């Protein structure tokens, strides 16, 4: 299965279904199952005490160096001034559930030229699975 490493608290925001749009500086042709890996970087854990990041709970309880969720990457859309909101609104009307609301905007970098990765079928794993992460999309061999 393809996997993507994110730092905390963003990995857990996806796992709990609070974040359905991942923003990246790069495009991918890949569509399909995607495992979400929480990296070991602790640099942004302080955000867990701030609204709306406090949705994830206390930073000490966030898994690191582990798989935390699976989902489907179903669409990748370039962000520009004319399409960033329109693209999400279009999907919202199709009952897919992506919407650039206040929280989603806070959880991503929607700068022009970046990409929105639209995620669906998000499932938090019952227990984090320890795994070593990598940059970019990488292959995770489930054990």
How do residues 14-69 score in pLDDT, each as one tens digit?
A: 999 999 999 999 999 999 999 999 999 999 999 999 999 998 888 888 999 999 99
- Structural domain boundaries enclosing 19: 2-139
Of 122 and 87, which is predicted with more confidence?
122
Rounded Cα distance, 104 and 13, in Å? 10
Is 30 in contact with 73 (CB distance < 8 Å)?
yes
How do residues 56-101 score in pLDDT, each as one tens digit?
A: 888 888 999 999 999 999 999 888 765 545 545 544 444 455 667 7
pLDDT at 130: 96
The domain that holds 118 is classified in CATH as 2.30.130.30
Rounded Cα distance, 60 and 45, in Å? 8
Rounded Cα distance, 111 and 76, in Å? 15
Tally of structural domains, the chain: 1
Rg, the chain, Cα only: 14
């Amino acid at each position: 299965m393809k996997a993507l490493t994110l730092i905390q608290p963003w990995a857990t925001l996806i796992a709990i279904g609070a974040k359905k749009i991942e923003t990246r500086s790069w495009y991918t042709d890949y569509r399909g199952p995607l495992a979400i890996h929480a990296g070991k970087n602790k640099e942004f854990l302080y955000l867990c005490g701030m609204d709306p990041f406090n949705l994830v709970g206390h930073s000490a309880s966030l898994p690191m160096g582990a798989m935390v969720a699976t989902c489907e990457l179903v669409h990748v859309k370039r962000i520009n001034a004319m399409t960033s909101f329109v693209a999400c609104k279009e999907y919202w009307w199709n009952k897919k559930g992506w919407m650039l609301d206040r929280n989603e905007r806070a959880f991503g970098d929607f700068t022009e030229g970046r990409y929105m990765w639209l995620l669906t079928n998000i499932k938090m794993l019952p227990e984090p699975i320890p795994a070593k992460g990598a940059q970019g999309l990488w292959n995770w061999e489930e054990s």
